[in-house]
Every structure is written in C-alpha cells, then in structure tokens.
Amino acid sequence: MKFRDGMWLPAEGKRLEYAEEVYSVTEKEDGQGLSLFCPTRKIHNRSDSLNLSTLTIDIEAPFDGALSVSTTHWQGALNPGPHFELFPAGKPEPGKINIQKSDKSRTISSGSISATVKTADHDFAIKFHATDGSKELTSLLNRSVGFAYSPATSSPMQLADMRNLEHYIFTQTTLSVGESVHGLGERFGAFNKVGQAITLWNADGGTSSDQAYKNVPLWISSRGYGIFIDTSDKVELEVGSERCSRVQTSVLGQRLKWYIIHGPSPKDILQKYSILTGKPGSVPSWSFGLWLSTSFTTNYDEATVNSFLEGMKGRDIPVEVFHFDCFWMKAFHWCDFVFDSEMFPDPAGQIARLKASGLVKKVCVWVNPYLGQASPVFAFAAAKGYLLRRKNGDIFQWDLWQTGMGIIDFTNPAAAAWYVGCLHSLFDKGIDSIKTDFGERIPSADVQWYDSSLDAGKMHNYYAFLYNKIVYEALQDRFGKNEAVLFARAATAGTQRFPLQWGGDCESTPEAMAESIRGGLSLGLCGYSFWSVDIGGFEGYPAPWIYKRWVAFGLLCSHSRLHGSNSFRVPWTVDDDDASEQGCSKILARWTALKARLMPYIFSQAQEAVRLGIPLSLRAMCLEFPDDPTSWYLDRQFMFGDSLLVAPIFQESGEVEFYLPKGRWTSFFSGETKKGPGWFKETHKFDTLPLYVRENSILVLGKSGETRTVYDYSRDVEVHLFHTTPGTKTTLVNSAGDDTEVLQVDDGGDSLIDQSVLQGNWIEAIDQLPRVVKFYSTD
C-alpha cells in the first residue's frame, strides 16, 4: 500500500503521522532491551507535548544475532491471535547483550548485531549494524516510522469512533545502493523483489501472477541481514516501489513487530530464522523416488491404475509412490473421505494388491479442508459444529470450488479430532501419505471461528499452518516422527516444519517452468528444505519437448512428481509411445535412474539441509556464493545441495546459457572442466543438461544401473573425487538418515584416508578426464 503521492504529498484519502524524534529512552527492567518514546513532532518546549500522538518503539534482544523491533501507537489496543508458534524447540538463553549510552546515542547489542539510536538534536535515526562495526545493515531514518488513517481525518474528534476508519502502522527500512531483496514466500515474479509491491495474503492464483499460495513474511537482503515480520495478518510491502531507497512494511492495526536477523551469510540468516519458526521436518528416503499421479479430472479405476504402473515398469521407470487425486471421492462430495464405491468397490483390497504386486511401495491420496453439502457427511459436520460459521450463526458456505462448500473449523478441538479420525481411517486402508491441497481461500469477513478470541484477518494465512500441522502430526502418530510426508500447497511461516510443499498450478509451457523455478528459489530462501513441482506442467497438454525438459528439471528437485489436470503424465501418452533413445519414456527412465544413483549424496545433503534450516533443492545460488554479486540475480539455475549446480533448459533446441561462480567445475556427464566465474553456452539433447560438480567435492553415487531409491548407501557405491584437497570431508548416512561415517580425503588430495566404512571390495580407477573416481563393488 502506498501512503504517499511521490515524495512530497500524502496519498489521496490518507493522513500520515511520523515519529519525528526519540524523546526519551528507557532501559527494560530485565536488561534485554530499550523502549523509545517518539512524539510525532519535534519537542522544543513544554507546550509541544500537548495534543499530539506518540509512537513507542521497543527494541529487544531475543537471542544472539537478532533484534526485535516493535512499533505501537495505542498500547491499549487488543492483540488477538492467532500468533505464529515462535521458538517451537524452546527459546534459547539470551546471548551477549550490551547496552551503551553516550551523549548523543544509545546502542543495544545482541551478539553480532547492534542498533544505535540517535538521542540528540531532535532527529530520528535508528541504525542497525554489525556489532564489530564492519558493516551498516539498514536504518530507520527521517519519516520512516509512522501510522496512517484512511480515510483522512480532519479533526482529532473523529477518532472517538474508529469503526469506519482504517489505522495502519508502517516502517521503512533503507535500501542501499545495489542491494537486492529476496524471499517473501513462493513468489513467481522477478527473483529480486526491489521495485515490486507485494501483498502477503494466501491466494489460489496459479503460478503466473503476483499472487502466491505460500506467503511467508521473511525477506533476505544481499547486505547480510533478514527481516521476519511477526504477524499472520495481511502485510503489504513496497520494496523500493514507493520510496526507491526504502522497503516499506505496513499492517492494519495499532502495532507492527519484526525481527532483524544478522547473518552475515544467508545460510546464517536461515539457521537463526529456524530458531524463531522451527526447523524443517525430516522426510524418509523413499519420498525422494518418483511419484506418479492419476491427474486431476482424468478417469481412472483399478485397471487404469495398474496399466499405468505396469507400463512404467515395462519401460524401466520405477515408481515409488502412486497418488490418487480428487476423484477417489464422488464428485460434489469433496472432501468427505469416502471412496467412490462405483470406481473403487474395495479400496483397502486394491491398495493391498497394488503394493503386493511390487509395482509401487507407497500410496498417497488427495484431501482438502472443505466439505461439499452434497455429501451426507456435511449435515453431520454442520450439526456437530465442525464447520466455520458466519456471524449470524449460519454455516459459512459458497459455491467456489464445491457446491455449498463449508470449511473445517480447526480452531474447534472436536473438529480437529474428527478430521484426524478420518485420516486414520485412510491409513487403515493402506494410505501412506497425504496431499493437502487448498487452504488458501479462507474468508476474513463475516465469519466467526469456534475460538472467538481469534482475529478473522489473521486466520486467513494462519489457517494453512493449522491445517498442515494437524495432518502432518496425524501421519507422525501413525508412521513415526521421520516417516511423515505431506504434499502441501498452502503455507505460511512455520509450515516448513511439515514437509513437503509443491509449487501449485502451472501451465505446460517453458515460461511456466521458469515461473516455478523462481517460486521454488524464493520459498527456499524462507527456510523450506523440500519442494516439488508438477512435472510437465499442470494445465494443458505439454508438447513432448517441454515434457522432457521438465522431466530433467523435475528429477533434480528434492522431490519429483508427475501430475496433470485433464491429461495423464505417463510418458507414452505424451509422444505416442516414441520408443527411441530421445523419446519421453527413455528420457524419464534415465533421469529417474540418475536420481536413484544420486541418493547417497541427496539423502546426506537432506540431513544437513534440515539441520541448518536451508533448502536442499532448489537452493538459490546466493546461498552458496553470497560474495559473488551475480549469484543474487540468478533465477534460471540452482544448487542441489552444496556440490551440484543445475541449469534447466527452456528451449526445444537444447541451447542454454548459465553462470559458473569462481572455481573449477566438472560436467557430471562429460567430465569436461570449466573455470569460473563466467557465463557459458551449451547445447544438449534431452538426456543431459548443465549439471556441474563443484570443486573440492566428494560425490557418493549408487552403482551404475541402480534404479532403487532406498538401498544401502555404503554398499556397492562409487566415490567420485572432484578436484579435492587434503582434508575434504563428506558424511555418509544410511537409508534411515543416521550418520554412519565421515569420508575424508588424504594428504595427497586424491584418495580417501579410510575406506572401511564402505562395504565391498576397493577398486581404484583414474579415468582420462580431470577427475579421480573410486569404485566400490561387492563383485
């Protein structure tokens, strides 16, 4: 929201007041912070203190490397929930806090970050900087903290009745020359958010608009800090789009709180952010295999499902998880958890037969948090009080998505328990995983939640957290802490704890693939370790070349699912069963096999991603190369873990341009070595793309021909050393994710110190390319 018309005038219909000076500073009794008393005009004499508003700014030190900044106008205003679940693993002990006072300023330090408040000369200035003085991060300067009335008031007496007035609090942090801003959820537009107006409000808008399914109030700056806005309410940001040199954050209400987190690296920022909102959950090794869906509106029964899986097996494409989308239930009945008896007369038996056949190991089904009135379950849920109501007592209903649809009120403990019971009935039938679709279209007007203390506006985004938490914890209760897997669409801060997320409804175009990549990169910079995409695109009928390019990209995401809307995504339906080496089936088989071979590396990197609160894939280049200015603008490539660089291809011709940061990079496919930094052009068929291994990497791979996802990651594997130096290490994990041993390069830099952890016979081979390869084999 813009509050000004250019630099000099307020926007039409807005009245603005700003903190003009820091009149007094009070140290908190617990010694953990400062409270700043800020009048909205400069106080030169005693009469200036009358008939004016003030703002209170509280700066506190919650833990090392972070400061919280709370701005309040009227402190008597209520602050209803829901509030984000902060510090879910427990609040850390306060770190090194230091408060210093001088004649002209007051400084509070929290470990590596400090805030210096100007207290002299009737000026307003708060500067955030590294405690060691090495870098200024950002500032709150003149006319950067304030509030606004809309419509504009002309007399203070009008404030006696606030019912028809909107009151906003805003802050404006400075943007430095060349600074870039990233994150704010799964955003599909430009990767660098400077110049954009962004509204954090979950919406079902597809991947080709400024709307987002996953709005996360965290952004990361290229200057080494991040800001987390601590509200689930609608947040509006003007990122250099109202004042070019500032990021404006505004909320409707009387208070605004955010945390500024010092890195200095983006990995450090995310690790500290995970202290606030939680670390990503771990996912089992089987979840990294290929998922195959029935697609959305297509027709399918047991014979169709079996034909899909038999066709995949006959083409050497292992499927780890089969997914039943919406129409496992009757039309108009979504989501009543009742299998359509005409299509699925024996669901438990069908699922058991499916698993017994060996065609698939796990089964997933689609659910949502809504309930159509055509289902008999609707009347039951309504009578029990499980559905959201309007203020007059009616069930909230509309015909958007499902006719007469109601919304499960998860603030009612009985409703949540009933929903969990429905999930367990699915688990009893053999379901192993749940796709939690929707949860974005949650009304914020004319609604009354069961928990009447909650604010309807804040519930809009927060609903995604409640919904996914309930389902994820039900999965954990049934299958174990690290065996729970969601496929979730809606998200907000904290839902990284309930993996995994996928990118929503994209079209079957190269442009949509690029949109999806930007979305995955942005979400990863909000602390989400695991992410997937509808391979081939959701909407439309992908041309064979698009499908194959998307397969290559999709199998190098952390998780890989074939899913469409009104057309199947099994490869032989895309290209009339082209059996050639460059046909869809052979290409999918090769990329699926490559991911299987990469599993020792992938699963080890997954544990590290969870530990640090960072993305596994898609990992933005700036996370690995923050000191390379180019890395902050790269939105068509990514890192898969810390060693593999991936550059998807968007052209049928196979032409691609990509950037390699400083160092030696080895093509995984050809063994050719390139030296960065620099831009490079290549042309690829469909079975390769620019997949480069970073220097000083130890890459553990499954044996040639391995197609399984879950196997012994220390037996029958290959160890590749890429331009390693003495002491280089990697951690080997087993298929349960437990650390086994550390592999370390010896003093010569071209062999391992100890191979005993690896099962089998040691064979050493040095190929003709500039890399050293070590093979393990039980033969």
How many angstroms separate the first and last alpha carbons of the chain?
A: 67
Token output for 732: 């080997």
User: Which sign, positive or negative, has the C-alpha torsion 238, 242, 246, 250?
Assistant: negative
Task: Give the chain's count of helices (H) and strands (E).
Answer: 11, 42
Q: Which of 320, 505, 534, 682 is catalytic?
A: 505
Task: Based on the residue annotation, tell me whether 440 is a catalytic residue of this protein.
Answer: yes
Do residues 91 and 45 touch, judged by C-beta distance below 8 A?
Answer: no
Dihedral angle at the C-alpha atoms of 42, 44, 47, 53, nearest 10 degrees? 10
Considering only CA atoms, give the Rg of the chain: 28
Task: Based on the residue annotation, tell me whether 437 is a catalytic residue of this protein.
Answer: yes
Do residues 544 and 628 touch, judged by C-beta distance below 8 A?
Answer: no
Do residues 706 and 318 touch, judged by C-beta distance below 8 A?
Answer: no
Q: Which of 320, 409, 437, 455 is catalytic?
A: 437
- Cα→Cα distances 180→28, 59, 661, Å: 34, 25, 18
Cα distance between residue 427 and residue 445, in whole Å:
36
Cis amide bond preceding 689, omega within 30: no
- Cα→Cα distances 223→176, 247, 473, 626, Å: 8, 14, 37, 9
Task: Based on the residue annotation, tell me whether 539 is a catalytic residue of this protein.
Answer: no
* Residue among 599, 644, 652, 583 at smallest CA distance from 619: 644
Residue 393 CB coordination number (10 Å): 7
Q: Which of 268, 325, 440, 716 is catalytic?
A: 440
Helices marked H in 504-657: 510-524, 544-554, 584-597, 599-612, 621-624
Cα distance between residue 170 and residue 251, in whole Å:
7
Residues identified as active-site: 437, 440, 505
